[in-house]
Structure 1
Amino acid sequence: MGVRVWMARAGLTAYVLPHADAFQNEFLPPDAERLAWLTGFTGSAGEAVVLHDRVGLFVDGRYTLQAAAETDPDLITCHHSVEEPAAAWLAKVLNAGDRLGYDPWLYTPEGRERLRRACETRGAVLVACPDNPVDQLWTERPRLPARPAQPHETRWSGRESADKRADLAATLKAAGQEAVVLSAPESVAWLLNIRGHDVPHTPLVLARALARADGSVDLFLDPAQTSTELEAHLGPMVRRHAPADLGAVLDALGERAATVRLDRQRTPAWILDRLEQAGATAVAGEDPCVLPRACKNAVELEGARAAHRRDGLAVTRFLHWLSEHGPSGTLTERAAARQLLAFRAQDPLLRDLSFPTISAAGPNAAQCHYRATEASDRLLNPGEVYLVDSGAQYPDGTTDITRTVALGPVDPVARHCFTLVLRGHIAIARAHFPQGTSGNQLDSLARQFLWAEGLDYDHGTGHGVGSYLGVHEGPAYLSRAGGGVPLRPGMILSNEPGYYREGAFGIRIENLVAVQPVEPPPADATKPFLAFETLTLAPLDRALIDVRLLRPGERAWVDTYHARVRAQHAPHLDAPARAWLEAATAPL
């Protein structure tokens, strides 16, 4: 039986499937990769619509090339999800009386509302399906063992869980709310100071929680994931439940007609429906853990600096090694990624990569989120540009860094474009901006030099990064598509402009930065000003910099940054690597 046969039996004319799981994660555990099973597309964001005669796959600019390469064009039509979202496409192709099915665990109330409006436009009906067809048809769906959750020590987190719960309870009391549903595992991990192994490369426990105004928490966690150590860490104010008990606890809130906060952007629609059916008042409001989680405290910031010093040393060692082996024409993308991991693995605090390493040579680098497979693995050829985007998870911080390297003399066009990207990167790194500024107001600083020559890149300039949590973290972004909340001190974001020429090369320069107050404040400022502290420490490829294009201040920034890199790493390198670093970071 295929999905269309299942649709016919369910009385559906269409079915929509997002890249999501029941926790609204971006990076999914293997058993939740339903979109990949259905379409072959393996990216981290996408949505498929199955009709009786066609399938539409909707991906953003990071994945347009990848989606086309991974899917069968005779079966699946790919669409740019920003230029033509799935809901807008449905509003064109549905007919009166059509029935569009969806899984209420995989859509948030806001996501479902977009589908509902599309259906109403055409006189179609949106139908919640209690069963997901992929779950019935995916016969080899992986089953992952339950691994115990672990306490995240205060020496890394900087705050006791009890203090965080007290702040959250005060927020609920002030709003007249009895409880808040925390469906995002990263919020549960942050609030309770726990970490886990349920999602590849992200130390999450797939758990939900109901945090109450009395400071207590109902935690819905697989009993196999508890331990004596975890029980002692959580304490008596955190009541443990099996995940199957969630419905009954929500029903009990309804019986008291409780007022419950629910983040409509992060919570499955199923939970909202259950609360309302039980008689509770579900109030829309942001997950109260999101903003304090994003604003790292002093301990987390110092941990991030330490993690980046160690991680930058590993990357610097790799870049030295690459300078010797990269131009040989015998090194493959996957072999390079393995060697980078080997350098990182010398750090006893390494817990995992923060995402699968993007190791891309020549035209493969034009795919923003390219992943080298056994079939696609390509040699790094002399004269090409090589892009490596990687990161790691340490208990004191999460890293994410991209370096673009010349494998010997390269096309002057690539060198010119690299320098334009570098100028945009420097513009973000040097920016001073008033408190209240959002990331969408800064995004164009990174694009200005590309725009001046009619060039651009189809992804955001920066994303938030967690503290031994997700490498992609809201609510702040550097993006023209929307900047999220105003930037605040303690937030860590990426600074990663790029440029991609299909069939030729890809360029991206990425450092992580922390938002900090400008000290001393500007003399005539009427409000506080903020700036970025660059955390990442690894050389930029001087061979790709056309110094003639740099202004004096930009040139000075590169020299100052390279001096920091040299001072930090040179004492920890052997003689050959130290000599290489001296040359790689010499003043322009």
Structure 2
Amino acid sequence: MLIQVTHAVAPTETQPLDGRRLQALRRELLRAGVDGFLVPRGDEYLGEYVPPSGERLAWISGFSGSAGLAIVTASQAVLFTDGRYTTQAQAQLDAKFWQIRHLTEEPPQDWLAEHAAGLRIGFDPWLHPQSAIDKLGTGATLVPLVANPLDAAWTDRPAPPLAAAVPQPAEFAGRDSAEKRAEAAASLRAAGESAAVLADPHSVAWLLNIRGGDLEHTPLALGCALLRDDASVELFMAPEKLDETVRRHLGNAVATHPPAALAGRLEKLAGKRVRIDPEITPVWFAATLTEAGARVQTGEDPCRLPRACKNPVEQEGSRNAHRRDALGLARFLAWFDAEAVGKTEMQAAEVLLGFRRALPLFRAESFPAISGAGENGAIIHYRATEATDRRIKANECFLIDSGGQFTDGTTDVTRTLWTGPGPAPEALRQRYTRVLQGHISLAVLRFPHGIAGNHIDAVARAPLWQAGLDYDHGTGHGIGSFLSVHEGPVSISRAAKPIAIQPGMILSDEPGYYLPGAYGIRIENLLLVQEAAPQPDQKKRFLAFETLTLAPYDRRLIDRSLLSPAEIRWIDAYHARVLAEVGPGLEPEPAAWLRAACAPLQG
């Protein structure tokens, strides 16, 4: 099953910005009768990754990061983004036209209260969830607009993607769609609700066991659905995506409609109680249902938590995907040690992609590889371009964060490497080792049921904190099963919502440290949540993590003097496991490299 991607390169990647697009948008704002406009990163599906037709924020600003919000008024243009992208934003935005603010330290609602009090700020109700509008609506009058003024200004906007939807076979999905629909419908009946809006294409994909190629790195067929309390579904998706094979797969309990039919079908729910998840559903849905006379109930998307808790087949699929991915990683790391110096960042990323493409069941990268040498590694979500691509030098740090989409699982792994041939500086080794200690501390953690990601974030930061260091991003995120590399509802960060971690979830473990202008350090494995083996006198159930990722750490960056005996034993045991599981599948040259890379620290 080959997922075909059918979209073009976003125009912002080839067209420089000079302020004319801002002028065009401001003319449209005058026509719309508003004083400003909100431009989010997400499209009408509110996803992290969007097709070229949804790259509105990049089109207006030049900023290509995956998280951000712009506010444009007659006299100001401000971009809000988080710590992963502030350095990138400074490089991509023209300071003559744009201001940059930290999304959490200087939130947009504060800016609106200070600069837009009394102004009418327009927004597209398709592009914002209700939770975001509620948070922003304290400093200005927010006005939903029928037509998006930015779309009117964007005269050469690409057409939406129309890649075919395809079935996700039961051998990888693990559960039949009918079983999933029955379970989700039972939750609606228990809540006295007649239907639920599934605005998130990830939920649609999981519930109906379908995938697609509308996005470059996430195998989605973009569309939305209504789930009824009798377990039937109405799917709203462009007919061109649904051939006879996928229609037979969907079956008679799934009715299909073109997206233009959505408003009319919602009107049929007049008088019914309809669930909407305010965190991931565009404002348009609640407004349309309310106007039609339906009773909107706020609640979590009934597919979101079940999707995050991988079933046994999905868990084993992820293990298998990581074992195959480890072969590609080992071949790349061996190549890197021998040949990377003198090559460029983009060439290194392409070599890694080539090794992955040769692996069975590989479909695509799970995100554009972050291939950062030296100072570029300090840009947390750096992406090399023709303009920034630089050669990898001797005796410097190189950060490679990458992943693969396999039919049976999604991978995401980061390693920080020393290019040599000289020894790494002592300060660098100390900082790397503290990051590694935090990474290990989270991997070995046992914790009781009910613990959420915000409760354990500090575990990974503590070794850095002891040295007065920290990092400006979360410690971990959820990962889908041949779906998005970033999946809710659970994450590991100080800002994470208090949603309990549950068995079957897959979370990343990726502390880091970044010295702007010099280097970046990040170490990332994926962890599968499992029931922990009981201990003597244990009175409640505990959970533990199973490490899925199989790739050695760079011994040249480890300062053994900082490690405890237990940490050294853990690293040696992990490396022994990597060698045992990965080594037999390698050719002689990378196998020899792996044996040296996995040699015990303790000796």
TM-score normalised to structure 2 length: 0.95
Aligned residue among 16, 19, 26 for 1:4: 26
Distance 1:64 1:300 in 2: 36
**How far off its partner does 1:63 sit?**
0.4
Show the counterpart of 1:206: 222
Residue 115 (str. 1) matches residue 136 (str. 2): yes
In structure 2, what residue type is equivalent to 1:557? W
Corresponding residue SS for 1:537: coil
- Per the alignment, in what secondary structure is the counterpart of residue 445 of structure 1? helix
**2:499 & 2:336 partners in 1: Cα distance?**
39
Matched with 2:146 is: 130
Tell me which of 208, 215, 219 is aligned to 1:192: 208
| Residue pair 1:522, 1:529 contacting (<8 A) in 2 also | no
Shift of 1:484: 4.2
1:155 matched to 2:171? The reply is yes
Indicate yes or no: 2:600 matched with 1:587: yes
Cα deviation per residue 1:202-241 (whole Å; 9 max; x = unaligned)?
0011110000001100000100001111011000000010
Q: Is the 8 A contact 1:477 1:484 kept in 2?
A: no
The residue correspondences of 1:489-568 to structure 2 (distance < 5 A) are: 489-519=503-533, 521-568=534-581
User: Whole-Å Cα distance in 2 between the matches of residues 502 and 523 of structure 1?
Assistant: 48
TM-superposed CA distance for 1:105, in Å, is: 0.4
**Per-residue deviation at 1:114?**
1.7
Distance 2:188 2:313 in 1: 26
- Equivalent-residue separation in structure 1 for 2:417 and 2:161 (angstroms): 40
Structure 2: 5+ residue runs without aligned partners?
A: 1-22
The total of aligned residue pairs comes to 577
2:483 maps to which of 464, 469, 472: 469
Deviations 1:253-290 (A, max 9, x none): 11xx0000000001000010000000000000000101
Detail structure 1 runs of 4+ shifted over 4 Å in the superposition. Answer: none
Matched-pair contact (CA < 8 Å) for 1:475–1:484:
no
CA contact (8 A) 1:333 1:359 kept: yes
Aligned to 1:122: none
Q: Is the 8 A contact 1:383 1:411 kept in 2?
A: no
Among 259, 265, 268, the alignment partner of 2:282 is 268
* Equivalent position SS for 2:301: coil
Q: 1:43 aligns with which of 65, 90, 93?
A: 65
Q: Is the 8 A contact 2:130 2:283 kept in 1?
A: yes
2:190 counterpart SS class: helix
Query: Structure 1 residue 348: deviation in Å?
Result: 2.9
* Maintained 8 Å contact 1:219/1:240: yes
Q: Percent identity at matched positions?
A: 51
| CA distance in 2 between partners of 1:479 and 1:337 (Å) | 28
Alpha-carbon distance between aligned partners in 2 of 1:394 and 1:577, rounded to the nearest angstrom: 23
Letter in 2 for 1:350: F
2:37 is equivalent to residue 15 of structure 1? yes
1:413 to 427, 430, 447: 427
Alignment of 1:241-320 (within 5 A): 241-254=257-270, 257-320=271-334
Matched, 1:396 2:411: no
* Aligned match for 1:181, one of 165, 186, 197: 197
1:347 to 351, 359, 366: 359
Task: Indicate the SS of the match to 1:548.
Answer: helix
Counterpart for residue 127 of structure 2: 106
Match of 1:64 in 2: 86
- The CA distance in 2 between the partners of 1:316 and 1:172, in whole Å, is 47
Matched-pair contact (CA < 8 Å) for 1:16–1:102: yes
CA distance in 2, matches of 1:506, 1:72: 25
Q: Superposition pairs for residues 336-375 of structure 1, below 5 Å? A: 336-375=348-387
Q: 1:136 Cα deviation (Å)?
A: 1.2
| Partner amino acid, structure 1, of 2:73 | L
8 Å contact kept, 2:457–2:492:
yes
Give the Cα–Cα distance (whole angstroms) in 2 for the partners of residues 295 and 194 of structure 1: 18
How far the C-alpha of 1:144 sits from its partner, in A, is 4.6
> For residue 80 of structure 1, what is the aligned residue in structure 2?
102
Contact 1:158 1:300 in 2 (8 A): yes
Cα-Cα RMSD: 0.9
Matched, 1:383 2:389: no
Unaligned residue ranges in structure 1 (runs of 5+): 120-124
SS of the aligned residue for 2:75 comes to coil
Counterpart of 2:66, as a letter, is S
- Partner Cα separation in structure 2 for residue 333 and residue 140 of structure 1: 32
Kindly state the Cα deviation for residue 118 of structure 1 after the two structures are TM-superposed: 2.3
- 2:159 matched residue in structure 1: 143
CA deviation profile, 1:331-374 (whole Å, cap 9, x unmatched): 10000000001110111311000000000000000000000000
Cα distance in 1 for residues equivalent to 2:364 and 2:148: 32
Residues 51, 161 of structure 2: 8 Å contact kept: no
2:77 maps to what in 1? 55
Does the 8 Å contact 1:106/1:268 carry over to 2?
A: yes
User: What letter corresponds to residue 129 of structure 2 in structure 1?
Assistant: T
Counterpart selection for 2:466 from 452, 468, 480? 452
Q: Provide Cα deviations, 1:407-440, integer angstroms capped at 9, x if missing partner.
A: 1033222111100000000000010001111111
**TM-score for both structures, normalised by structure 1:** 0.97
In structure 2, the residue corresponding to 1:181 is in which secondary structure? strand
Match of 2:183 in 1: 167
Q: Which residue of 2 aligns with 1:237?
A: 253
Shift of 1:145: 4.5
Distance 1:110 1:576 in 2: 54
